[in-house]
Structure 1
């Protein structure tokens, strides 16, 4: 339950949405100081309090909630948000990683166009633009890509790296951390594919965290 609380708080602070957009109007307004007011700050704090209260009320074991972990998560997310908004080299790093993910996912468009485009016009005709044509190829492509990365041991190394820091700081496993981090740049359908080899071994708490991380952010397909 403490993990659910943690990532509900992360969602409220808008970390996923801020990171997912390359230069969203909200980010520009806050960065310039033009739209950041006491009212907006209080509204955000009220939202956090409400979500904490809802999560606490719905908890099946309220005594197990580790409030120090929740506080650490809030502090870490606040520091990260400030760095993204005001530290140029941090912005550059996230921009680079975001562009890299977008570039990789754009390969799906090339394959989809090759398979489903009209032989006459060379483009996908409007009747074909549906869920099966626009979304499923992305899922299939990313599932195949993560399988290759797992085969070569790259996913395992990333999970191990994230586990070292996040286990001590936030009591999270490496797989959980990778899935939630993936939601910054990917969609809710693609991010869990990064840890699909670990999903069958996850408990209810970990599965809930993966789902909450996907629902709390907005990116990708």
Structure 2
């Protein structure tokens, strides 16, 4: 009942900040949540559906392990001594190359368009936003808009907002690979990205309803062809395009983790000056501020501060740092007594599952800059409205993940 009430609380909050509350098309909103609930039942409640996703997660994990041979060749037998730089970041390149090959073969387009047609039929959303929403299940927020680049100038502000929100609410396959390596459940990561796609569309249309008439249809989207001329060129291009992504991930982690440490040391210093018996850190403060959000998702009271801390780290820093900490918490459950002494209580597997769904998205302040920069380049004529759309879309992306966590927790 708590998680169910959280669902209504988040919807009510989004309606309050809606740009045009009287223009909300409730068919889209209701069917978006209905589709999300249907997917949750198939994946989480139906034994065959869960086993299917578990099997898919195991196959993906096995496939990702093939990157070890390339890492060993390039970095030597001791490459795991520097696990993030020499294992996780190369995995991003490997997955990007694989996805590009699938696009060259035409397999990814067929899968994405099939899902998009279902979303468009049920939610009555436009072809482009349905297409990008479907592609967000498999690709990142940086790649998906490029798939419809020629059509972007023709889109309405509501469509652009929905596309941005879908990017914030989901993660790409290449980034998912890194989270799996942290020890997070592959089936839950896959189902989180699948379930958040319709939720993002529903909440985006609640926050920024359509007031114009979209002009693009499915046939226009379906004509997309990759520029590569051979499978080898596709593999090379995919790997090359991921180099910048891997570099950005590494650079952001160095910068944000270092900045977080500087903030924490400053807070610790001030805490000692005022005689605090607790070690005051950014994580400690944010765990109290976001405690109610964790509670509304159905987290046990004793775990709410820890989940709130993870949400804060993900929102104000990035999802990599949050999932790395979640992976540590999952591993530490095997040494529960030691873990409780260091990090507080973490007694419930339910809390682990809810955290996985709540964190599974690119919705953080750093990603706002990425979205603004990318869309300003793609559609410069909208550069004045894009910052406003991106900020709203980030909120929608975060809430979409929270709503998915509410449903998953049931």
TM-score by length of 1: 0.61
What is the aligned counterpart of 1:79 among 27, 38, 41? Answer: 38
- Quick one: distance in 2 between partners of 1:155 and 1:193? 17
Cα deviation for residue 169 of structure 1 reads 0.8
Given that 1:146 and 1:193 are in contact with CA atoms closer than 8 Å, whether structure 2 keeps it comes out as no
Matched, 1:134 2:87: yes
* Cα deviations by residue, 1:99-129 (Å, 9 ceiling, x for unpaired): 2222222222332233223xxxx23253x23
The corresponding residue for 1:19 is none
- Quick one: distance in 1 between partners of 2:34 and 2:108? 28
What is the aligned counterpart of 1:146 among 99, 102, 123? Answer: 99
- Residue 65 of structure 2 aligns to a residue in which SS? helix
What is the aligned counterpart of 1:105 among 44, 64, 73? Answer: 64
- Quick one: distance in 2 between partners of 1:57 and 1:44? 20
Cα deviation for residue 213 of structure 1 reads 2.5
- Quick one: distance in 2 between partners of 1:59 and 1:133? 45
- Residue 7 of structure 2 aligns to a residue in which SS? helix
What is the aligned counterpart of 1:60 among 19, 39, 44? Answer: 19
Cα deviation for residue 219 of structure 1 reads 5.0
* Cα deviations by residue, 1:139-160 (Å, 9 ceiling, x for unpaired): 2112211211111211211122
Q: Which has the higher contact order (CA 8 A, sep 6+)?
A: 1
- Quick one: distance in 2 between partners of 1:71 and 1:96? 31
- Quick one: distance in 2 between partners of 1:89 and 1:194? 32
Cα deviation for residue 165 of structure 1 reads 1.1
**Which structure has the bigger radius of gyration?**
2
The corresponding residue for 1:205 is 162
Cα deviation for residue 220 of structure 1 reads 3.7
What is the aligned counterpart of 2:108 among 139, 155, 165? Answer: 155
- Quick one: distance in 2 between partners of 1:77 and 1:63? 24
Compared with structure 1, are the counterparts of its residues 112 and 80 closer, same or farther at alpha carbon in structure 2 (3 Å cutoff)?
A: same
What is the aligned counterpart of 1:123 among 68, 78, 83? Answer: 78
Gaps of 5+ in 2: 153-159, 179-410
Given that 2:80 and 2:87 are in contact with CA atoms closer than 8 Å, whether structure 1 keeps it comes out as no
> Root-mean-square deviation (CA), in Å?
2.9
Given that 1:155 and 1:194 are in contact with CA atoms closer than 8 Å, whether structure 2 keeps it comes out as no
Compared with structure 1, are the counterparts of its residues 82 and 153 closer, same or farther at alpha carbon in structure 2 (3 Å cutoff)?
A: closer
Gaps of 5+ in 1: 1-41, 183-189
